[in-house]
């Protein structure tokens, strides 16, 4: 993390901001950030379920995001960052409502009565929303066949992964409740996509303070935490909360959600949106269910079926296709094509050289006869 001195003049800030834009992130940093949103966020489904054993859904969101936001803002202040900036707070507030309160709030609430597998299926629809709503990149997204195939293949793989649970969720005894939850999860995925695209294109506006994304992320969490707190108070979750009845596993779970799920993984996600294509960053919605399955098999002793193994391979293949350009595979094929196109030229050159050599040799052999 790096913040500018608060008393620096405008020209210096402008020059430093221009310098930051020209610096491309290191591959190691990008890989580390993707690892966080792939693995850590995949584990949050499991830890949310654990935390709900001791906290109400909106109280859980209040404690998680308020604590994480305050910690990040205090850290930024100690680093000399400018904390109170109206434009930064306003933009962060909108992103916090869409990304954290609406989407994460829906996920926390529906996990009270829906299986985590079905929640993962509906959350994975965000990757498709990204390619549909990312208007500035419509030409690049819809014109890239591997990306389009990969997006729909990934969603199909997630459905395969939890197909049996999806069938159970649509059982007549639970159909009405689960259909409501599925509709809310689609709304949450749409809000997540809208907030992510807003963060990518408008999060760093001209009026915002440059170079301290930690401050904006901290305000997103704190504002969302305040709204969660008001909602929890309105629902009576705060007055009904009993400290002594909270199991140790719930405390450990909420500590993990604050430290790893919010501070580390969410900050990595917001940063990746600024440096990588949105469709590429959205692939975490496909990888997260894989982590959820592995955690379920490891800790809850859930069995992994053959169809789930096939589904995991399909999901990994979809991520590979979506990152086709990132892996520079298309460039590799184009280089091979150019290399193969140069082969006839090389053959023609060698033929010309050989013909010149034969002609010169013939002339030398005929010279004695002419003298």
Domain residue ranges of the chain, discontinuous segments joined by +: 30-327, 330-371
Checking if the pLDDT of 9 tops 50, the result is no
Contact indicator for 314, 153 with CB cutoff of 8 Å: yes
Q: Specify whether the backbone of 246 is left (phi greater than 0), alpha (psi in -120 to 50) or beta.
A: beta
Average pLDDT over residues 24-38: 90
> Distance between CA atoms of 273 and 261, rounded to whole angstroms?
17
The values of phi and psi at residue 197, to 5°, are -65, -35
Checking if the pLDDT of 314 tops 60, the result is yes
pTM (whole model) above 0.85: no
Per-residue pLDDT of 188-229, as tens digits, reads 989 999 999 998 887 665 555 554 688 999 999 999 999 999
Q: Is residue 14 very low, low, confident or very high in pLDDT (cuts 50, 70, 90)? A: very low
Burial of 111 (0-12, 13-18, 19+ CB in 10 A): buried
Q: What is the mean pLDDT of the chain?
A: 78
Q: Which of 20-29, 89-98, 348-357 tops mean pLDDT?
A: 89-98
Choose between 40 and 166: higher pLDDT.
40
Residue with the two structure tokens 């906290």: 55
What pLDDT shows up at residue 203?
A: 66
Contact indicator for 17, 211 with CB cutoff of 8 Å: yes
Checking if the pLDDT of 339 tops 90, the result is no
Per-residue pLDDT of 65-100, as tens digits, reads 999 999 999 999 998 988 998 989 999 999 999 999
What pLDDT shows up at residue 67?
A: 97
What pLDDT shows up at residue 155?
A: 81
> Distance between CA atoms of 145 and 147, rounded to whole angstroms?
5
Choose between 71 and 133: higher pLDDT.
71
User: Could you give the angle at the alpha carbon of 133 between the alpha carbons of 65 and 268, nearest 5°?
Assistant: 35
> Distance between CA atoms of 94 and 75, rounded to whole angstroms?
22
Rounded to 10 deg, the angle between the 284-299 and 116-123 helix axes is 170
Average pLDDT over residues 353-361: 54
The values of phi and psi at residue 115, to 5°, are -65, 145
Give me the helices (H) in 244-328, please: 248-256, 267-275, 278-281, 284-299, 306-322
Q: Is residue 18 very low, low, confident or very high in pLDDT (cuts 50, 70, 90)? A: very low
> Distance between CA atoms of 42 and 158, rounded to whole angstroms?
13
Q: Which of 15-19, 113-117, 244-248, 328-332 tops mean pLDDT?
A: 244-248
Residue with the two structure tokens 């589904």: 311
Average pLDDT over residues 151-167: 74
> Distance between CA atoms of 242 and 247, rounded to whole angstroms?
11
Checking if the pLDDT of 366 tops 60, the result is no
Token digits of residue 2: 């790096």
What pLDDT shows up at residue 149?
A: 87
Checking if the pLDDT of 54 tops 70, the result is yes
DSSP letters along 38-93, please?
Answer: IIIHHHHHHHHHHHTTTS-HHHHHHHHHHHHHHHHHHHHHHTT-----HHHHHHHH
**What is the percent of the chain with per-residue pLDDT over 90, rounded to a whole number?**
35
């Amino acid at each position: 993390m790096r913040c500018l001195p608060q008393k620096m003049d405008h020209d210096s800030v402008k020059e430093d901001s221009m310098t930051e834009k020209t610096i491309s992130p290191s591959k190691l940093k990008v890989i580390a950030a993707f690892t966080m949103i792939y693995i850590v966020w995949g584990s949050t489904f499991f830890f949310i379920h654990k935390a709900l054993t001791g906290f109400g859904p909106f109280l859980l969101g209040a404690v998680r995001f308020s604590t994480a936001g305050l910690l990040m803002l205090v850290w930024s202040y100690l680093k000399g960052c400018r904390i109170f900036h109206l434009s930064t707070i306003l933009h962060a507030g909108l992103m916090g409502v869409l990304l954290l309160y609406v989407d994460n709030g829906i996920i926390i609430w529906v996990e009270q009565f829906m299986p985590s597998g079905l929640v993962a299926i509906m959350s994975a629809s965000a990757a498709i929303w990204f390619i549909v709503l990312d208007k500035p990149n419509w030409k690049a997204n819809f014109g890239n066949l591997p990306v389009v195939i990969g997006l729909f293949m990934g969603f199909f793989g997630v459905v395969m992964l939890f197909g049996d649970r999806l069938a159970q969720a649509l059982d007549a005894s639970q159909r009405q409740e689960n259909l409501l939850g599925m509709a809310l999860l689609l709304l949450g995925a749409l809000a997540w996509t809208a907030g992510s695209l807003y963060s990518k294109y408008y999060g760093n506006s001209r009026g915002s303070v440059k170079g301290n994304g930690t401050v904006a992320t901290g305000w997103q969490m704190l504002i969302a935490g305040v709204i969660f707190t008001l909602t929890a108070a309105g629902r009576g979750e705060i007055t009904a909360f009993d400290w002594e009845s909270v199991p140790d596993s719930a405390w450990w779970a909420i500590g993990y959600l604050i430290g790893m799920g919010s501070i580390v993984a969410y900050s990595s996600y917001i940063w990746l949106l600024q440096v990588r294509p949105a469709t590429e960053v959205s692939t975490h919605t496909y990888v997260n269910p894989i982590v959820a399955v592995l955690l379920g098999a490891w800790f809850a002793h859930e069995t992994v079926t053959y169809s789930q193994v096939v589904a995991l391979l399909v999901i990994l293949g979809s991520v590979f296709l979506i990152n086709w350009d990132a892996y520079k595979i298309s460039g590799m094929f184009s280089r091979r094509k150019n290399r193969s196109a140069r082969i006839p030229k090389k053959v023609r050159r060698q033929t010309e050289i050989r013909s010149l050599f034969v002609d010169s040799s013939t002339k030398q052999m005929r010279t004695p006869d002419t003298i």
